[in-house]
Amino acid sequence: MGKVNWWLWTKMLVAGGGVVWGGPALVRYLQPTDEELFQRYNPELQKRSLERRYEREKEFDDFVVKLKEQAKSDKPIWILQAEEEKANTTNSARQQKLTESLKLAEEVKARREAMRREAGLPVESGKERK
């Protein structure tokens, strides 16, 4: 083996240390804190941000609680989340269809009553004929 070039190794260690420690230190020095960013907002955005803060914190807490519950299962989390999302989508779709059908039924009833009034016929009082 040849002679070890200690000067080369020293330069490389110093340069590597500069990159490994200096880069993140520079980013940390230049990156503004949350408070500094908040102070740069215009007053309207500050007000909106403060109003929604509790709501965002609650959503995050709920997310973490669900994540902890899902982590207790044997199934992978992404599968559990997909199943839950599918169930929520199905339930909300059913609820939306039900709401739409109720609105449609009310509109049909209102049209029927309007047509009966125009024709001079008595309007039904909500009782169904047998």
Concatenated DSSP letters of 100-112: HHHHHHHHHHHHH
Structure confidence by residue, pLDDT tens digits, 44-101: 988 888 889 899 999 999 999 988 988 888 989 888 888 888 887 777 777 888 888 8
Compute how many other C-beta atoms are within 10 angstroms of the C-beta atom of residue 98. 10
Q: Cα(69)–Cα(63) distance, rounded to whole angstroms?
A: 10
Output Rg (C-alpha) for the chain, integer angstroms. Answer: 33
CB atoms within 10 A of CB 85: 10
Put simply, whether the predicted model's pTM sits higher than 0.85 gets the answer: no
Instruction: Provide mean pLDDT across the span 18-46.
Output: 92
What pLDDT score does 1 carry? 65
Q: Residue 71 and residue 9: Cα distance in Å, rounded?
A: 47
pLDDT value, residue 127? 53
* Chain mean pLDDT for the chain: 87
Dist CA 96 CA 69 (whole Å):
28
Per the listing, tokens 């839950």 go with: 84
Contact 41, 32 (CB under 8 A): no
* Angle between the N-to-C axes of helices 43-71 and 77-119, in degrees from 0 to 180, rounded to the nearest 10: 120
Residue 124 has pLDDT above 80, yes or no: no
Give residue 115's pLDDT: 86
Binned at pLDDT 50, 70 and 90, residue 130 comes out as very low
CA distance 20 to 12: 12
